[in-house]
Amino acid sequence: MPEPKTHKITGISLSNEPFEKYFRMFGILRQSKDRSQWPAETLYAAPYKPLLLLSILDLLEQGIIKTNLIELCQELGELFTLYCSKVLAPEKIGNIGMPFYHLTGDGFWQLIPKPGLENLSSEKNSASGLKKVLIGAKFDDELFNLLVIKEVRDAFRRLLIQKYFLESIQQKLLELSQVNKAVFEYSENLLKKPSQNLNIKEVAGSSVDYVKQVRDQAFRKAVVKAYEHRCAICGLKVITAEGHTAVAAAHIVPWSISKNDSVTNGIALCHLCHWAFDEGVTGISTHYTVLASEQLTLSGNAPGVFLMMRDRPIFKPDINERLPDIEALNWHRKNVFKRL
């Protein structure tokens, strides 16, 4: 009996009819095409469906998606935004609600409405609107059972990148999927060992800035997660329906000096509090209370909330091992915080 032929790209047996069926469907996604609206990098077509699917494949790879339920979660929104930033101009903001809804027209994706909220007509173009009425979405069960296999995920990822994006950026998108996996693994390790400055495992053939990308993104991811997206100084917590968060991760002792990405050398801060902490007009005491510099009271200043927050406890991580390192805070008070 002759050996069954294999797919020339994936090496998967052509006798696998479900694979061939869905591989073909992933290659003919319905897209809006307009040379005046979309760049050459996306072959002059809306890239949102393939970018959403690439983001979902990454969450499957990371083990965040474990069942055939895809929710409009913060992790999915973050990855989708990251992929969009690689192929679209900064002013072209990706709306994850559009592909999440419109993938229903491609034959393998179904929305799961909340009971009694089956009418989506007024919510279909908005992530916040969809979150009000949807539990999430699902693939055909047959397709999901294929996508849990790494070799199949890799094949579908290559197809999406080769089919819908200009050759000059295909390697960048493939590497991004590697970076996303490394970021997830490294950030989880940082959270498990919050006081340790861990090494990043390099990937053969990666670009020179691979380690920097992983380090920057994993540090931010780990610290923001440790503080549950809440600013340690003012307590602000806002996550949009698209998965964008109001806080970022700040090094207490700057990376340029410490070379230290441990969670305990980080603190989650909103943009205003981040600026104030870096400028030294705020600080944190050894008792984890907010310090406010007397410079805030100089003539012409209107310090507002910073003086109101003086001597208040910071908003801490739930796990004590993730609290800011006392020696790092001492360094900040000695070298950055302005007494007057």
Q: What is the pLDDT of residues 198-221, one digit of tens each?
A: 777 655 555 668 888 899 999 999
Whether residues 159 and 192 fall in one domain: no
- Structural domain includes residue 177: no
Whether residues 112 and 23 fall in one domain: yes
pLDDT of residue 193: 94
In the chain the beta strands, taken as DSSP E runs, fall at 109-113, 134-139, 247-251, 266-270, 282-284, 290-292
pLDDT of residue 1: 45
Q: Is residue 48 scored above 60 in pLDDT?
A: yes
- Structural domain includes residue 161: yes
Question: Which of 19-28, 39-48, 62-71, 300-309 shows the lowest per-residue confidence on average (mean pLDDT)?
Answer: 300-309
Q: Is residue 89 scored above 70 in pLDDT?
A: yes
- Structural domain includes residue 79: yes
- Structural domain includes residue 170: no
pLDDT of residue 76: 96
Q: Is residue 276 scored above 90 in pLDDT?
A: yes
How far is C-alpha 100 from the geometric centre of its chain's CA atoms?
A: 17
Whether residues 126 and 26 fall in one domain: yes
Whether residues 238 and 117 fall in one domain: no
Whether residues 66 and 159 fall in one domain: yes
In the chain, how many domains are there? 2
Whether residues 305 and 248 fall in one domain: yes
**Residues pairing with 315 in the sheet:** none
What pLDDT digit, counting tens, does each position of 241-260 carry?
888 899 999 999 999 999 99
Whether residues 191 and 228 fall in one domain: yes
Q: Is residue 26 scored above 70 in pLDDT?
A: yes
pLDDT of residue 201: 67
Please compute the mean of the pLDDT values over residues 18-22 and round it to a whole number: 93
The CB-side HSE value for 98 (13 A sphere, CA atoms) comes to 13
How far is C-alpha 129 from the geometric centre of its chain's CA atoms?
A: 21
Whether residues 302 and 221 fall in one domain: yes
Structural domain harbouring 289: 184-335
Whether residues 98 and 160 fall in one domain: yes
- Structural domain includes residue 340: no
pLDDT of residue 121: 58
Q: Would you say how long the chain is, in residues?
A: 340
Among residues 117, 134, 165, the one where a domain terminates is: 165
Q: Is the separation of the CB atoms in 340 and 281 below 8 Å?
A: no
Whether residues 246 and 291 fall in one domain: yes
Whether residues 140 and 210 fall in one domain: no
The residue ranking higher by pLDDT, 339 or 60, is 60
Please compute the mean of the pLDDT values over residues 21-48 and round it to a whole number: 95
Whether residues 200 and 147 fall in one domain: no
